Structure 1
C-alpha cells in the first residue's frame, strides 16, 4: 500500500457516521449508532456525548444532561469530547457548564494555547470579566502574543463598565488598563504582531482615556504617531479629534477642523452642524484670533457671522461648478437662516428669503425622492399666510399637461411625477388638506387616485419586489380618508381598505400598504387577514421587537388564540436567541480585535433584555398557555410547574424597562400639532407599563392558586405552618394589595382621556378591562380565595361573619359575571343607513369574559377542595344526632 500523508485517528473514523446523522437531523439513528459503538468501545467518551446531543434534540433533556455529566465528571481532554460537550451545553442554554469543562482541561494540560483560549471565550459567553482578565494574562504568559495581552486589557474595561461603583471603575480598573497599554507603547510592542489591525489597539487606548475623562491625553494619542494608524473607519481620526475638541470645549479647533473637512466634502451634513455650533460658541465667548500665531492647531478659524455667511456662499458657488449636484450647501444656508432668526439677527446679513431659497431648491432637486424630507425640516421658516402661495409657486414650475379642459393635468415623465408628489406631500405637511371641507377632501382623494393609476404606466417594467413610482399618491389618499373617518364618516374606512388592497395588488412589496392595512383591520376587529399581511412583511431580527406590537396587541384580544400564540413564539424565539447570538458577536469582536464594538454589543443585549415588548409577550404568552391548557386544577398545577412560575418571583426589570417600539414606522405627513409627539410616547409607555403590571400580577396570583389547593392537614396545624402554606396565602394577599394599587393607578391614568393620533401608538386593553367589569370580577375572585382560606383556618364554628361575607361574594360574582356576559351580546357588524359599522369591543369583552370564567373555575376548584370536607363533616354530625 502507498504511504498516506495523513494517518486518520481510528476514533474519528468510528464517530464519523454519528456526526453525519446529527448533521442531517436524523437524531434517532445517531442515538442507535452511538449505542452500537459504546457496546464495543465503552471508554469512547465522545460517543456518549454525541448520543446525549441526539437525546437533547429529541426532547429527552434529563437523559441527555445525565449522560453529559457522566463524561464531564471524568474531566476529558480530547478535542472531540470537549467540542461535543460545548455544542450540547449551548443547545441546553447552559454556557456556564462550558467554563467548568475547560477549567478542568486547563488544569490537566496547563500549557495548551487552544484550551486556554477556549476557556477565555467560555468566560466571555457568560460575562465573567475578572476571570477573562486572568485567563487572558495566563494565556499571554504561555504564548506571549499581542492579542492575548489586549484581551486582558479589554476585560478590565468590561469590569469597569459593569462595575456598580463608578469610583471603583475610575480608580482601579481603568487606570490599570491604561498602565498596561502604556507599557506596550513604551516597550514598542504595540505593533509587534499583525494578528489583528493595529488600528484596533489604538482605539482601545483611546477608549480607556476617554472613559477616564483624560480628554487631552486622548487627543494627543489621536493627533500623534499612534493616531496615524486609525484606519478602521472612514475619517476615524478626524471624528475622534472632533469628539475630543467638543469635550474640551476647544471651539477654535472644532471650527477649523469642521471647515477643513467641509472644504474637502461640502456635502457632509454632520460637519455643517459642528461648524455652526462652534461659530456661535466663539461669538458668545467673544473669541478673537491671535495677531501673529496661527488661529488654531487645525488652521484658520471663523469666529463671526459674516465669515460663516461668506463661507456658505462660497460652498454654493463651488457647488454650481461641480459636475454632480450637492444638496448640503443649499440646506446649510437654510440652517444658518434658522439659527440667525433664533438669535433675532437674520435681516442684517441678507441671506435671502427662505421661501425663495426653498423654491430654488425645489427647482434643482424636486425630482429627487429626498426633496420632501429635506424641505420638511425647514417649513417652519415659512409664515402660515404664505403656505398656499408657496404651494402654487411650486406647482407652476412642474411640467404637467392636461388632455382637455377641466381635466386633471398629469405628468409626462417620472421626474415631473416626483416633483408633483413632493408638492402634494408638502401640502399635507403644511395643513392645507386638513383645512378643507368634506367635499373638497373627497375631490382631492379622487384626484390623487387618478394620478396614482396614471403613474402606474411608468412602473410597468418594475419587478414585483420594486415599488411603483406613484404609490405615495395612494397612501396620501388613504390618509385623507382616515381624517374623514375620524370625523365620523364611516364609509371612508371601507374605502381606505379598498384603495390599500388595490395598491398592494400593484406593489406587493410595499410595507406601508401592509402596515396601514394591519392597523385598520385591527381597529375594525377583523384579525383574519392580519396574520398573513404581517408574515408577508418578513420581519427579521430586531423588527420582532420594534414592530411586533402591531400584531401581539390585537391577536389575543380579538380571540385569535392560535395566531396570538404563534406571534408570541416568533418574538420570544428572537429574544431568547439574542443572549446566545450576542455572545457570539462578542467572541468574534475579541478574535478580530474590534474592541470598540464589544460595549455596543453588550448594551444592545441589555436593551433587549429590558425590552417592554419582551416582558409583555412573555407575560401574555404564559397567561395564554394557562388559559388554553389548564382546564382543571390538577392541570393548572402541572402547567404552573412546567412554566417554573412562582408567585413570589417577579423577573420583570421595572426600573430598566425600555420602550423599543418603532412608533414612526408608518409614514406621516401630518403637521406637528397633529403628529405623534414626545408627550404621546411618554404617556403610551406609562399606559403600557401599568397594563403590564396588572397582567403580571394576575399571572402571579393565578400561579399561586395550586399552592393552596391540596392541603390535607388542617390549616392551623403545626405541620402546615412548617410546610409554609400560611406564607403562601400571605404572598397572595400581598399581591392582591399590589393589584389594587395598580388598578387604582390605571383608573387615574384613564381619567386623562388621552387621544393618540390615528397612526400613533395603539391604546392598551386597560380601558375595556375596567369598563366591562372584568377587573372587578377578577379582583373579587382573588379576594374570595383569601376569605375561603380564612374560613378553612378558623373552621365553621365562630366564623359566621366570614361565611356571610363568602355568601355575599358568591351572589355578587354571579351578578357581575352575568353583567359581563350581557356586554358580549350584540352584532359585530351593524348596517346603518347603508353603511357598515363594526363593534370590535364586543369581541374584546368576550375574550375578557372567557378569561374571567377560567379564573372563576380555578378559584371554584380551590373553594371545592376546602368546602367539600366541611360539607361531609356536617352530614356525619347530622347522622350521629339522628
Structure 2
C-alpha cells in the first residue's frame, strides 16, 4: 500500500525526492533490498537538503545497516548549507554511529563556531578523549590526545565558561586518565566540585577514590570515618571497608599524627587497632541506644574487623567479643529479614568446626515455633518466624550439616522441608501470581537435597521426585526464576530439551542476560536432537548480539545529547565485551553448522549453503586472543559449604574446555566450507579450476593440521574435572571424544587431500596411493559402525519397575548423524573426482582398487543408515509402549498431588525423547536419500 501511494505521488511529481525514498523504504521492508538501494542512490546522488528526504534516507540506511552512507548525506548537506545548526548536529551524530572520532572532533568544533554553545564545544573535547581511548598507541594518547583535551577544558575554566556538571565530570575524566590525581582532587574540592550534585556523595566518593590512588591513607581514613557517622548514611558498607583498608595501611607504615595542627585535611585519623576497636564500640553503642530501626552495617563491620585482626594474628580481636555470640545477637535483631542469611554466610569461617552444631542450636532457640504436630515437625506461626527458621536451615546447609547426613537422614530432612513448604503456602494465599511464596526456599532446598541423593546413590527415583517437587513449586509460584533455572538444568542433564524451551522463554531474559545465562540453553540446544528448537534458540541469542551494535550506537548518541560523557567509554567497553563474547562465537558457529546439517545437499547444494553464510575460509574471524567469558556461573542459588563451592580452577577449566570445543567446531565448519569449494562438476574440469583447487587446498591442509594437533593431544591429556552441580555445565568435548565423532570426522576430512593427489597422479600410476585411500574408506566404515554401536540401548532403561534415563545415548546419536553428514559431503566430493578418472582408466582386468573400495564404502553407508533408522524406529516403539504410570517410585512415600507432578515431569521427558528421535530419524532419512548421488 505504501509503495502504491508513493507511486501515485511520483506520477504527479516525478522529482519529489521524499516520495522516492519512502518508496525505497517500502521496497526494503518487502525484501527488495537491491531495488530499494538503487532508488535511494538516485536521490542521494542529487545531494538533497530538504529535511524530509534526509530523515527518510537516514531511516532507510539504518535499516540497511549502512550507517556510513548517512555521513555522506550530511557531509553534502553541510557543504550546501554551511550555517545550519541542525545539519551540523546530524553530521556529528552520524559520525558517532560509525565511530569516526577524528571527524566528530572536527564536526563539533565547526558546530561550536557556528553556534557557540558549551555542549558543542565539549562534544569536540569528548571526541578527543575517545580518540585517546581507541588509539592503539598508548603513548600517543598520553602525549597528544589527552593533553590537548585538557588544554581545551582549561581554556574554558580560565574564561569561567564552565556551566554544567557534565563539563566538570569530563574535566575530571581527562585528569584521571592522565594520572593527574592531585589536580583532579583540586578540581573536586574546589569551586568546580560544587557542581557535582546529581549523585549522592559524588564529591566524597571521588575524593575517596583519589586518596586511594595517591595512597594518602590518612585522609582516606579520616574521610571514611567521618562519612560513617554524620550527616551521611552510617549503614554504607563501602566506607567501613575503606576505613579498615586505610587503617591497616597506616599501621603497616607506622604512621604517627603531627605534633601540631590537624591530623589530616579531612580531620582526625585512626592509626591503631585500639582506636578502631573503640570506634566500632561507639558505633555499636549508638545503634543499641535506638529503640527501633537498627542498622546492620555497624554489626557486620564489627565482624569484619574481627576477621581482619585474626588474619594479622592480633590478640586484640578478643576485645570485640566471640564471633558465635555476636552472630547470634545479629540473628536475634535481623533474623526475620531475608538478607540475614547473606549477611551471616560470609562470616561463617569465623566459627571453628566444633562450634557449628552449637551455633545452629543457639539460633534455633531464637526461632518461635509451635508445638510439633503428628508428623513430629514444629512449624512457625507467622511469616517472621518462618523467615527465622528458613535462615537457620540455610545456614545449616552452608555449614555442611545437611551434606553430612546419611541417606535416611537426608530423606527425613526432605520430609521436614516439604512439611515447612506446604505449611508456609497458607501465608501467601493473598499473593499475586507474579509474587513469590514465602516458603519457596524450603522447596528449593529440598530439591537440592534430592540432587545430593541422586549424585550419591545414582538412583533415578530421587531425580524424578526432585523434578516433581520443582514442578509443584512452580505451580504455586509461577515467577520463581530459581525453580525454572534448576528445572532447566535438570531436564537438560536428562537429555529432555522440549520442556526447556518454554522454561527459558518464561524466564523473560532481558538484554545482556541472553549472554550471561543464555549458555544454559544453547549448550544443549543442538546436542539433544531437537534441531528445530535448537535453531530457534540460536536465533534468539543471535538477534540480541546483532542488535547490540545498533543499540549501543544509539546509547552513545543519547549520552552526547544529554552530556553523560562518563558513560560513553562504558558503552564502548560494553559493546566490545559482547562482540568478543565466547557465547556469541559459540552460538554463531553452532548455528552455521546446524544449518549445514539440516539443509546442505538436501534443500540446496553444499556449495550454495556455504556461500550464503559468507564464511571466510582462509582467515578465522573469531577473536581468540580477546574472547570474553561473560557467563554468570553463580546464577543458581547454592548453599554448599566452601569445599563444595565453585572455585577459580573450575571456572578456568570450564573456559579452557569450551574454548577448545569452539576451536574444533570452528575448524570443522571451515573445513566443510573448503570441501564445498573443492567440489566441482565434471563439465568445469579444466586447468583454471585445478589451479583454483590447489589454492583452496592450502588453507584446507593447514586447518586439518590444526584440527588433528589439538585433538590428538587433548585425547591423551583430557581428564574430566567434576564441577559442582550448580556450577558450569559440562562442555560437549568429553562426550564428543567418547562417542568417537571427533576422530571419525577427522578421518573423513583427510580424504579430499588424498583424492586431490590421486586426481593429479591418475589411476594408472598410483597403486600405493589407491591402497592408502582404500584403507581410509574401510577405516571410516568401521569407525561409523563403532559410533552406531555406542548409540544402542534404551533411552529410558526400565529395571525392577524403575525408569533410568540414559541421555548420553541421545547425544551419541546426534554426533553419529553429524558425522554421517560430513562423511556424505566428503564422499560426494570423492565421487566427483573418481567418476572422470574411471572413464580414463586403462586398467583392463577388474576395476581399479580405489573405485572398488569407494563402491564398497557407499554400500556400507547404505547398510549403516538402514541400521540406524531401524534402531531409531525400535526406540520410538519402545518408548511409545512404555507405561510410565506403572513405574514405581520407591524410597519415599508420595502424596497423590506429588505423584501427579512427578508423573507430569516424567511425561515431559518421555515426550521430549520421542520428539528428538523423530527429528533425528527424519534427518537421517533425508541423508539416506542423497546416497544415490554417490554412485560412480
Report how far residue 797 of structure 1 moved: 2.8
Alignment correspondent of 1:20: none
Alignment correspondent of 2:74: 102
Report how far residue 99 of structure 1 moved: 0.9
Q: Deviations over 1:394-418 (max 9, x none)?
A: 1011111125577211111111100
Change beyond 3 A, Cα 1:404–1:563: closer
Report how far residue 650 of structure 1 moved: 1.2
Report how far residue 878 of structure 1 moved: 9.7
Alignment correspondent of 1:6: none
Q: Of residues 704, 708, 719 in structure 2, which corresponds to 1:740?
A: 708
User: Does 1:469 pair with 2:442?
Assistant: no
Report how far residue 66 of structure 1 moved: 1.4
User: Does 1:273 pair with 2:235?
Assistant: no
User: Does 1:808 pair with 2:775?
Assistant: yes
Report how far residue 634 of structure 1 moved: 5.8
Alignment correspondent of 1:727: 695
Determine helix, strand or coil for the equivalent of 2:798: strand
Determine helix, strand or coil for the equivalent of 1:837: strand
Alignment correspondent of 1:611: 581
* Contact 2:24–2:36 (Cα < 8 Å) also in 1: yes
Report how far residue 632 of structure 1 moved: 5.1
Determine helix, strand or coil for the equivalent of 1:209: helix
Q: Deviations over 1:159-217 (max 9, x none)?
A: 000011111000000000000000000011112xxxxxx11110100000000000000
User: Does 1:309 pair with 2:273?
Assistant: no
Alignment correspondent of 2:27: 55
Q: Of residues 206, 229, 234 in structure 1, which corresponds to 2:172?
A: 206
2: CA distance, partners of 1:59 / 1:655:
38
Report how far residue 870 of structure 1 moved: 1.3
User: Does 1:252 pair with 2:218?
Assistant: yes
Report how far residue 711 of structure 1 moved: 6.3
1: CA distance, partners of 2:769 / 2:47:
62
The CA RMSD measured in Å over matched residues stands at 1.6
Alignment correspondent of 1:448: 417
Q: Deviations over 1:562-609 (max 9, x none)?
A: 111111111000000010001000000000100000000100000000
Report how far residue 347 of structure 1 moved: 4.2
**Which is worse superposed, 723-732 or 254-263?**
723-732
2: CA distance, partners of 1:393 / 1:167:
61
Alignment correspondent of 2:129: 157
Normalised by the size of structure 1, how large is the TM-score? 0.94
1: CA distance, partners of 2:450 / 2:489:
14
Note the 1:140-179 alignment, pairs <5 A.
140-179=112-151
Alignment correspondent of 1:16: none
Alignment correspondent of 1:765: 732
User: Does 1:327 pair with 2:296?
Assistant: yes
* Contact 1:181–1:205 (Cα < 8 Å) also in 2: yes
**Which is worse superposed, 258-267 or 660-669?**
258-267
**Which is worse superposed, 513-522 or 343-352?**
343-352
* Contact 1:222–1:237 (Cα < 8 Å) also in 2: yes
Q: Of residues 330, 347, 352 in structure 2, which corresponds to 1:361?
A: 330
* Contact 2:460–2:805 (Cα < 8 Å) also in 1: no
Q: Deviations over 1:328-373 (max 9, x none)?
A: 0000000000000011013465110000000000000000000000
Q: Of residues 156, 166, 170 in structure 2, which corresponds to 1:184?
A: 156
Change beyond 3 A, Cα 1:810–1:348: closer
User: Does 1:817 pair with 2:784?
Assistant: yes
* Contact 2:704–2:750 (Cα < 8 Å) also in 1: yes
Change beyond 3 A, Cα 1:806–1:442: same
Alignment correspondent of 1:690: 660
* Contact 1:746–1:766 (Cα < 8 Å) also in 2: no
Report how far residue 713 of structure 1 moved: 8.0
Unaligned regions of 5+ residues in structure 1, if any? 1-28, 192-197
Change beyond 3 A, Cα 1:361–1:777: same
Alignment correspondent of 1:83: 55
Determine helix, strand or coil for the equivalent of 2:644: coil
Q: Deviations over 1:53-81 (max 9, x none)?
A: 11111111111111112211111111111
Q: Deviations over 1:513-571 (max 9, x none)?
A: 11111111111111221111111111111111111111111121110111111111110
1: CA distance, partners of 2:307 / 2:137:
44
* Contact 2:309–2:317 (Cα < 8 Å) also in 1: no
2: CA distance, partners of 1:407 / 1:87:
70
Determine helix, strand or coil for the equivalent of 1:831: strand
Note the 1:422-501 alignment, pairs <5 A.
422-488=391-457, 489-501=459-471
Alignment correspondent of 1:381: 350
Determine helix, strand or coil for the equivalent of 1:648: coil
Q: Deviations over 1:215-268 (max 9, x none)?
A: 000000000000011112111110000011001010111011101110122101
1: CA distance, partners of 2:23 / 2:47:
18
Q: Of residues 756, 764, 768 in structure 1, which corresponds to 2:723?
A: 756
2: CA distance, partners of 1:720 / 1:396:
86
Report how far residue 748 of structure 1 moved: 4.6
Q: Deviations over 1:66-97 (max 9, x none)?
A: 11122111111111111111111111111111
Alignment correspondent of 2:367: 398
Q: Of residues 764, 785, 802 in structure 2, which corresponds to 1:797?
A: 764
1: CA distance, partners of 2:806 / 2:466:
18
Q: Deviations over 1:91-129 (max 9, x none)?
A: 111111111111111111111111111111011111111
Alignment correspondent of 2:671: 701
* Contact 1:690–1:745 (Cα < 8 Å) also in 2: no
* Contact 1:34–1:51 (Cα < 8 Å) also in 2: yes
* Contact 2:306–2:317 (Cα < 8 Å) also in 1: no
Alignment correspondent of 2:793: 826
Note the 1:526-675 alignment, pairs <5 A.
526-631=496-601, 635-675=605-645
RCO greater where, 1 or 2, for CA within 8 Å and sep 6 or more? 2
Determine helix, strand or coil for the equivalent of 1:804: helix
Q: How many residues align?
A: 842
1: CA distance, partners of 2:642 / 2:46:
68
* Contact 1:828–1:839 (Cα < 8 Å) also in 2: yes
Change beyond 3 A, Cα 1:727–1:337: same
* Contact 1:48–1:67 (Cα < 8 Å) also in 2: yes
Change beyond 3 A, Cα 1:730–1:403: closer
2: CA distance, partners of 1:748 / 1:286:
55
Report how far residue 818 of structure 1 moved: 1.5
Determine helix, strand or coil for the equivalent of 2:804: strand
Alignment correspondent of 1:69: 41
Unaligned regions of 5+ residues in structure 2, if any? 847-936
Report how far residue 631 of structure 1 moved: 2.2
Alignment correspondent of 2:201: 235
Determine helix, strand or coil for the equivalent of 1:796: coil
1: CA distance, partners of 2:554 / 2:760:
55
1: CA distance, partners of 2:433 / 2:373:
34
User: Does 1:134 pair with 2:106?
Assistant: yes
Report how far residue 316 of structure 1 moved: 1.1
1: CA distance, partners of 2:698 / 2:684:
17
Q: Deviations over 1:429-459 (max 9, x none)?
A: 0001111111001000000000110011111
Alignment correspondent of 1:340: 309
* Contact 2:310–2:317 (Cα < 8 Å) also in 1: no
* Contact 1:627–1:851 (Cα < 8 Å) also in 2: yes
Normalised by the size of structure 2, how large is the TM-score? 0.88
2: CA distance, partners of 1:169 / 1:664:
38
* Contact 1:582–1:601 (Cα < 8 Å) also in 2: yes
